[in-house]
Amino acid sequence: MLIAQDLVKLFPGVRALDGASLRIEPGSVHALLGENGAGKSTLIKILTGVYRPDGGTLSVGGVEVHLDSPQAASRAGVGVVHQERNLVPEFSIGENIVLQRLPAKGGLLDRAAIRAEAKRCLDLLDLDLDPDRRVRGLPVSQLQLIEVAKALSMDSSVLLLDEPTTASTPSEVERLFEVIRKLRDNGTAVLFVSHKLEEVYELCDTVTVLRDGVSVLESTPLADLAKQDLISAMVGRAHSAVDLPARPAVTAEPVLELSAVSTAAGHRDISLSLRPGEILGLYGLVGAGRSELAKAVLGLSAITAGELRVRGKAVNIKDVRDALRGHRIGYVPEDRKEEGLFLDQPVTKNIAVAVWDRLRTRIGGVSAKSERALAETYVERLGIRLSSTDKLVGELSGGNQQKVSLAKWLAAETEILIIDEPTVGIDVRTKAAFHELIWQLATDGLAVLLITSDLVEMVTLADRIVVMRDFHVCGEVVNDHEYEPTSHRVMGLIHQDAE
């Protein structure tokens, strides 16, 4: 149905695609896998006319096509959800959904038609949103689903989904999968990109794996492949997830304690404590107030009651600078593009920004040489893929960007590190490397507060798991690193609270 043959795409200094081929059949869900920076998003952008290939051919329904604009792609029946959010903030949900084909009557917008069409697409996803509501201010998970609705509105015969589930709750994911299956059964060809192999096995029929821009596995039935085969195809060598050894029990005095803390953001009566060398997990469904709590600890929203103690002393943290300098607390934010990175700045500055004081020469200026050396250390340590540390962070792939965001805080050498959703959109190998890294950092004495919505990750890493719901703590689980029982207890806490 849709056939891509030997696609090549060059960016300044990078061969993003170097002979990628792929064949998507109607009535099936095709997985596109690969490490960060393998070229998945680039391939999708070529299939949707955003980029023009520097080589290779495309055909839809047996006819060779040249998709030189997004319109051309949608005319050819290709619909897409890109990895980055692409909504117009000041427009209504409805208008965003039908933006590609705004219905008009007598030269003016047909609002009723917009509302009806938007409602239809939202209903498909079981989303109860008012089509007239403005998009600005909606939470990320809903934005992602609105993008899916937008893709559905095109009734395309080929649907490309680039990591559509990174921000979704399990139930939202389930709902999305049902819709995808229904589309598949109606003959739509679906391409699905994800780093979560469980999802891939649950949903997909065939698979293509990209490595460094080349298809190393092309349109192969998924049923024939074991998880291990996929992973080794992606990483190019046999890869076994290291089982992280158990870590010694921590007995040191807590370095960070919250007792009965309420915040201006709406938290009520939150108590928890974190010791050096410990990984404390903070679990909850999206919107439970975990990121907000981290920001309250950093002084970004006021603590209205209760006490925050650092190393035993009650403190009043003013801002991130105070947290970093006065208390050695760091925070790796979840939204790397908006909060973590300086996209138009080079990797060096992004990594060194918090430690310029340390890199000063005798006469007082920041030394570019030691800055570069520092950056190179962490580029190597985290395996960040780039041609030069002078490269702008915005030109890196999503996973590598996330690594830069973490590198900044590792470079800052804090004693307490809050890490928020560290592996969203990160490939398996990098993810394992991240886990190992975090584990090692904790073993070396760092106190880690880990916020993640990935329960597997939580069970892999955390020593204890504090469960949050609606801006308060509903319980704590000691992690025995067995997925089944621990996850049951965590979910149990969430649900018990709901009743």
Partner 1 sequence: MTLQVLRRSLADQRTGLVLLLVLLVVVFGSLIPTFFDDRFVVFPLLRDVATLTVVGLAQLAVLSIGHLNIAVGRMAAFGAMFMGLAYEQWHLPLYAGLVIGVAAGAAIGALTGLIITSSGVNSFVVTLAMDFALLGFVSLVYSELTTSAAFTTKPAGMQELRTFSLADVCVGPVCGTSAIPQLAIFAVLAMLAVGYLYSRARTGREMLMVGSNAVAAELSGIPVDRRIVGAHALSGGLAALAGFMLAVTSGSFTATIGSEFMLPSFLGPVLGGTLLTGGAVSIIGTFLGTSLTQVIRQGLTMLGASVQSLSISLGIILLAALSLDRVRQVISERKAVRR
Partner 2 sequence: MITLDARLRSNETTLAVVAVVGYTALVVTSGGSLLSGSAIETFFAYLAVPVLIGLAQLVALAVGQMNLSVGALGGFVACAGGVAMAQHGVPVWLAVPGALALGAFVGVLNGLLVVLTRINGFIVTLATMTILTGLQYELVGTTTVSDYSPVLRDLGRAAIFHIPVVFLVALAAAVVLAVFLRRAVPGRHLLASGGNPLAARLSGISNNRSIVVAHALSGLLIGVAAVVTLASAPGVNQSIGGDWLLASFAAPIIGGVALSGGAVSVSGTVLAAVIIRLVDVARAQFSLNPSWVNFVVGAVVLGTVVLTHRRGAA
Ligand X SMILES: Nc1ncnc2c1ncn2[C@@H]1O[C@H](COP(=O)(O)OP(=O)(O)OP(=O)(O)O)[C@@H](O)[C@H]1O
Which residues contribute to the site for ligand X (CB under 6 A)?
11, 14, 16, 34, 36-42, 83, 139, 284, 286-292, 334, 395-399, 427, 451, 453
Instruction: Judge whether 16 and 395 are in contact, CB under 8 Å.
Output: no
Instruction: Judge whether 205 and 221 are in contact, CB under 8 Å.
Output: yes
Instruction: Judge whether 67 and 47 are in contact, CB under 8 Å.
Output: yes
- 140 near partner 1 (CB under 8 A): no
Select from 198, 202, 193 the least CA-distant residue to 160. 193
Looking up tokens 């139930």, which residue turns up? 171
Q: How far apart are CA 81 and CA 191, in angstroms?
A: 10
Q: How far apart are CA 238 and CA 231, in angstroms?
A: 7
**Choices 27-35, 170-178, 330-338, 428-436 (CB under 8 A): range interacting with partner 1:** 330-338
Q: In the bound complex, what is the minimum distance in angstroms from residue 40's beta carbon to Mg ion?
A: 5
- 430 near Mg ion (CB under 5 A): no
Select the residue interacting with partner 1 from 105, 133, 182, 360 (CB under 8 A).
360
- DSSP secondary structure of 385-400: --S-TTSBGGGS-HHH
Q: How far apart are CA 389 and CA 28, in angstroms?
A: 42
Restricted to residues 21-60, the positions that interact with partner 2 (CB under 8 A) are 48, 50
Q: Toward partner 1, which CB reaches closer, 171 or 387?
A: 387
- Vertex 20: Cα angle to 15 and 22 (nearest 5): 155
- 96 near Mg ion (CB under 5 A): no
Q: How far apart are CA 395 and CA 14, in angstroms?
A: 10
Q: How far apart are CA 425 and CA 175, in angstroms?
A: 20
Task: Name every residue whose Cβ is closer than 8 Å to that of residue 270 and which is 6 or more positions away in sequence.
Answer: 258, 260, 261, 262, 263, 293, 306, 472, 473
What is the phi/psi pair of residue 108, to 5°? Answer: -110, 155
Q: In the bound complex, what is the minimum distance in angstroms from residue 196's beta carbon to partner 2?
A: 24
476 - beta bridge partners?
Answer: 466
How many other CB atoms sit within 10 Å of the CB of residue 353? Answer: 15
Q: Which does 156 bind (CB under 5 to 8 A by kind): partner 1, partner 2, ligand X, none?
A: none
**Choices 69-77, 180-188, 318-326, 377-385 (CB under 8 A): range interacting with partner 2:** 69-77
Restricted to residues 377-436, the positions that interact with partner 1 (CB under 8 A) are 408, 412
Residues 113-142: x where in contact with partner 2 by CB under 8 A, - otherwise, as a string: --------------------xx-xx-----
Q: Toward ligand X, which CB reaches closer, 234 or 359?
A: 234
Q: In the bound complex, what is the minimum distance in angstroms from residue 466's beta carbon to partner 1?
A: 22
Restricted to residues 331-360, the positions that interact with Mg ion (CB under 5 A) are 334
Q: Toward partner 2, which CB reaches closer, 101 or 182?
A: 101
What sign does the CA torsion over 311, 314, 317, 321 have?
Answer: negative
Residues 219-248: x where in contact with partner 1 by CB under 8 A, - otherwise, as a string: ------------------------------
Return residues touching partner 1 (CB under 8 A): 10-13, 298, 300, 319-321, 323-325, 331, 333, 338-345, 349, 353-354, 356-357, 360, 364-366, 368, 408, 412
Return residues touching partner 2 (CB under 8 A): 48, 50, 69-71, 74, 80, 82, 84, 86-91, 95, 99-100, 102, 104, 107-109, 133-134, 136-137, 264, 301
